Amino acid sequence: MTKNITILSWLNEVRSLVKPDKVVWIDGSEEQIEELRKEAVATGEMIKLNEKLLPDCYLHRTKPNDVARVEDRTFICSRSKENAGPTNNWCDPKEMYTKLYDIARGSYKGRTMYIIPYSMGPIGSPIAKAGIEVTDSIYVVLNMCIMTRVGKKVLDVLGDSNDWVRGLHCKCDVDPEKRYICHFPEDNAIISVNSAYGGNVLLGKKCFALRIASYQGWKEGWMAEHMLILGLENPQGKITYVAAAFPSACGKTNLAMLIPPKYLKEKGYKVWTVGDDIAWMKIGPDGRLYAINPENGFFGVAPGTNEKSNFNALESTKRGAIFTNVCHNLENDTVWWEGLDKNPPTFAVDWKGYPWNPSMFNKADKTTYAAHPNSRFTAPAKNCPCVSSEFDKGEGVPISAIIFGGRRAKCAPLVYQSRDWEHGVFVGSTMASETTAAAAGAVGVVRRDPMAMLPFCGYNMGDYFQHWLDMGKRLGDKAPKIFNVNWFRTDDDGNFIWPGYGENARVLNWIVDRCEGKADAELTAIGYIPRPEDIDLTDLDIDLDTLKGLLSVDKAVWTKEADEIVVHYEKFGDKLPKELKEQLAILKKNLAALPD
Ligand code: OXD
Ligand code: MN
C-alpha cells in the first residue's frame, strides 16, 4: 500500500516483535469491513443486531475488568520527567520500551496483525495528521473505521513523510496488572497493551488527538483541545462557531447536538455539530483561529442518552454503529441502557453476558444495571441529523468564542465572560467540577481539571498554560472571546435551578451576541456577567429574580475558591506563567473590594 520507508521499517520491527500468524492491511473498503464483521460474529467477538431496526449495527462486550480509561496506568514517557510535568505519570522511555516490548513480544502468535492507516481530520486538510495503528483486535479495526478516515488515500497524501504517529496495540491477555497506555511524544509513538476498551485502544482518539497532538501543537504553534465544536445559526442564516471544554459528565455531547427550545427554533435558531469531543485549532491566513474535528464519529456514553436528552445522538446510533457493554434486548435483538426509555426489556442479557430482567434492578446498586454506566456507542458522524456541512471540509471553521465549564453547585454563575484572553486562560486553568453521586467516592469534591485536559495533556501543564498565553499574543484582537458556563447551580434542596439541555441555547445566544458587540454586560469581580434582562427567558418558567440568583457572585464562596486556586497553582512551581499569578492577584483584590 505504500513505499514510505519510515512506515515499512517500523512495521518490520513491529512484526518481528509481535510475531503474528498473518498480516492484513486495512484499506477501509466496505467489502473488507463486511468481511471483518462476519469474522467477528463467527468468533463471538461481536453480535449482529436486528438488521431491520438497527442496520449494520453490532454489540460487543469487553472483559469486566476493562471498561474505562485507566488514568493510573497511563504514562507520558518524555525523555525528561519535567516535560511530563506534575499532572502526568512519567517513566523513563528506555525503561518503558523495555517493559512494553517484553509484554508485546510474541503476543500476536495465532493472531492477525491488522495495519490501519488513518487520518485525524479530513484527508488532505492542512490541519489533519496521519497515523498508523497496528492491532490484533477486529473490534479496534471496526471502531477505527468509524472514528477516523481509514485507507490507502491516507498513505497517498502522506507520501514519504515521516510525520505520522506510530501506534501499537496488543490485546495480550487483557491482564489489568500488565495494562499500560504509554505515550512517547518525542518519538511520535504510542504503545497500549493488555486492554481492549475504546479510550485505551482506539489510538487515534485520546492518545493521538489529545496527548501526542497537544505536544505537537506546542512545538508547532497550534492547539489540540478537549473541546466540542458547534455552529449556532441565527434567524438571518449567519452561523457563529464556538468551541467548548467540559470535564466528563457535564453534557458535552448534549451541548454539541443541542436542539433549541420551540420558541427559538421557530424564530430560526439552529445548532450544527462539527465535533463532540476534540478540536484541533490553527491560526488561518486571515489571522483567526480555525478548528477541525479530527474525528469521524462519536464515541458517546450510552446511559442517559434518549430522545429527550439528545435526540440527535440517538439518531446517530441507528445505522452502522457499534455498541459496547450495553444491554442486549433479546425481545427484538436490539439494545437498551438505563435512561433510554421507561420500558426495560423483560428478556435480556446484561453487559457482562448474564440473563437480566427489570426485577433485578436496584438503583442504588450499579452492579445490578443492565448496561455498564460507561457503556458506549461508536457512531458515524455522517448519521447525525445536525452534522455541519463544514464537517468534511478541511479548512476548519472560524472560532468566535471558547467556552469553559464545569459542575459547580454554588460557585460559578450561569455564564460570565473573561475580561480578555489572559484572564480567559486563567479561567480555563482553574476550571473545576464537583463529583456527583454518579461516580464512586464522596459527593461534592472539587476536582481541578484545567481546560478539561488534566488526563490528556501530553506535556508539562505549566508549559501548556504558557502555550495558551502565547497563542493569545499571536491572535491579538482576532482571538476568540473566552466565557465560562455552569448549568449546574443548585438550590438549598440540591435541585438544579437552570433547566439545561436545549434551554442552554439562550445562554449561547448571549455569548454570540457578546462576540458581535450586540449584548450588554456588567463588569464584576470575576468578569462580565449578563444583566438578567439580557438573557431571553420567553416561554421559560424562570423569573428574573431566579436568574439574578443564578448570575450572582458570592464573596465568601469565591474567596474560598481563590484560596483553593492558590493550592492548585502551587503544583506547577516555576512553570506557572507569571501572567496567571497576576490574574489570581487581581481576583483576590477584586473580591476583597466587595462588600461583605
Ligand atoms: C471521553 C472522556 O470518553 O472524556 O470522551 O472520558
Ligand atoms: Mn472526552
Task: Retrieve residue 79's grid coordinates.
Answer: 525523555
Which one of the listed residues 57, 182, 207, 250 is annotated catalytic?
Answer: 250
Look at residues 206, 221, 236 and tell me which one is the last residue of a structural domain.
221
75, part of any domain: yes
pLDDT score recorded for residue 481? 98
Q: How many residues does the chain have?
A: 596
pLDDT score recorded for residue 418? 98
Mean pLDDT of all residues in 165-176:
98
- Distance between Cα 68 and ligand 1 center (Å): 9
Total-model pTM: 0.97
Query: Under DSSP, is residue 114 helix (H, G, I), strand (E, B) or coil?
Result: strand
How many Cβ atoms from other residues are within 10 Å of residue 444's Cβ?
13
Q: Whose alpha carbon is nearest atom 4 of ligand 1?
A: 248
The answer for 29, left when phi > 0, alpha when psi is -120 to 50, beta otherwise, is beta
pLDDT above 70 (res 25): yes
The ligand with the least distance to the CA atom of 202 is 1
To test the ligand 1 pocket, which listed residue (67, 69, 253) has its Cβ within 8 A of the most ligand atoms? 69
517, part of any domain: yes
Mean pLDDT of all residues in 439-454:
84
CATH code: domain of residue 74: 3.40.449.10
pLDDT above 80 (res 440): no
148, part of any domain: yes
Confidence of residue 435 (pLDDT cuts 50, 70, 90): confident
Nearest to 136 by CA among 182, 158, 164, 104: 104
Confidence of residue 248 (pLDDT cuts 50, 70, 90): confident
Starting from the edge strand earliest in sequence, which strands make up the sheet with 297-301, in order?
47-48, 58-60, 322-324, 376-380, 297-301
CB 576 within 8 A of CB 560: no
Atom of ligand 1 nearest to the CA of 198: 3
pLDDT score recorded for residue 439? 56
Q: Whose alpha carbon is nearest atom 1 of ligand 1?
A: 248
My answer on whether 425 and 561 are in the same domain is yes
pLDDT above 90 (res 438): no
My answer on whether 405 and 506 are in the same domain is yes
494, part of any domain: yes
pLDDT score recorded for residue 287? 98
Look at residues 167, 197, 221 and tell me which one is the last residue of a structural domain.
221
- Distance between Cα 118 and ligand 1 center (Å): 20
Q: Whose alpha carbon is nearest atom 5 of ligand 1?
A: 277
Cα angle 110, 113, 115; round to 5? 170
pLDDT score recorded for residue 426? 98
556, part of any domain: yes
My answer on whether 333 and 427 are in the same domain is no
My answer on whether 401 and 288 are in the same domain is yes
Q: Count of domains in the chain?
A: 3
- Distance between Cα 241 and ligand 1 center (Å): 22
Q: Whose alpha carbon is nearest atom 3 of ligand 1?
A: 199
3-state secondary structure 167-228: EEEECCCCCHHHCEEEEEHHHCEEEEECCCCHHHHCCHHHHHHHHHHHHHHHHHCCEEECCE
Atom of ligand 1 nearest to the CA of 376: 3
- Distance between Cα 23 and ligand 2 center (Å): 32
pLDDT score recorded for residue 90? 98
Confidence of residue 441 (pLDDT cuts 50, 70, 90): low
446, part of any domain: yes
pLDDT above 70 (res 85): yes
- Distance between Cα 18 and ligand 1 center (Å): 29
End-to-end CA distance of the chain: 70
The ligand with the least distance to the CA atom of 298 is 1
Give 106-151 pLDDT, tens digit per residue: 999 999 999 999 999 999 999 999 999 999 999 999 999 999 999 9
% the chain with pLDDT above 90: 96
Look at residues 204, 221, 238 and tell me which one is the last residue of a structural domain.
221
My answer on whether 372 and 412 are in the same domain is no
Mean pLDDT of all residues in 477-506:
96
500, part of any domain: yes
58, part of any domain: no
Residue 411 annotated in active site = no
- Distance between Cα 300 and ligand 2 center (Å): 9
Give 180-217 pLDDT, tens digit per residue: 999 999 999 999 999 999 989 999 999 999 999 999 99
Atom of ligand 1 nearest to the CA of 248: 4
To test the ligand 1 pocket, which listed residue (277, 278, 447, 449) has its Cβ within 8 A of the most ligand atoms? 277
- Nearest-angstrom CA–CA distance, 119 and 147: 10
Confidence of residue 462 (pLDDT cuts 50, 70, 90): very high
- What domain range includes position 117? 5-43+70-221
To test the ligand 1 pocket, which listed residue (67, 206, 298, 324) has its Cβ within 8 A of the most ligand atoms? 206
pLDDT above 70 (res 437): no
Give 38-47 pLDDT, tens digit per residue: 999 999 999 9
Q: Contacts from 574-581 at CB under 8 Å and sequence distance 24+? A: 574/462, 575/85, 575/460, 575/461, 575/462, 575/463, 575/466, 576/462, 576/465, 577/462, 577/465, 577/466, 577/469, 579/422, 579/425, 579/426, 579/469, 580/425, 580/426, 580/429, 580/465
CATH code: domain of residue 368: 2.170.8.10
Give 294-325 pLDDT, tens digit per residue: 999 999 999 999 999 999 999 999 999 999 99
Confidence of residue 477 (pLDDT cuts 50, 70, 90): very high
CB-defined site of ligand 1, < 6 Å: 199, 248, 277
Q: Whose alpha carbon is nearest atom 6 of ligand 1?
A: 248
pLDDT score recorded for residue 594? 96
My answer on whether 124 and 192 are in the same domain is yes
CB 334 within 8 A of CB 54: yes
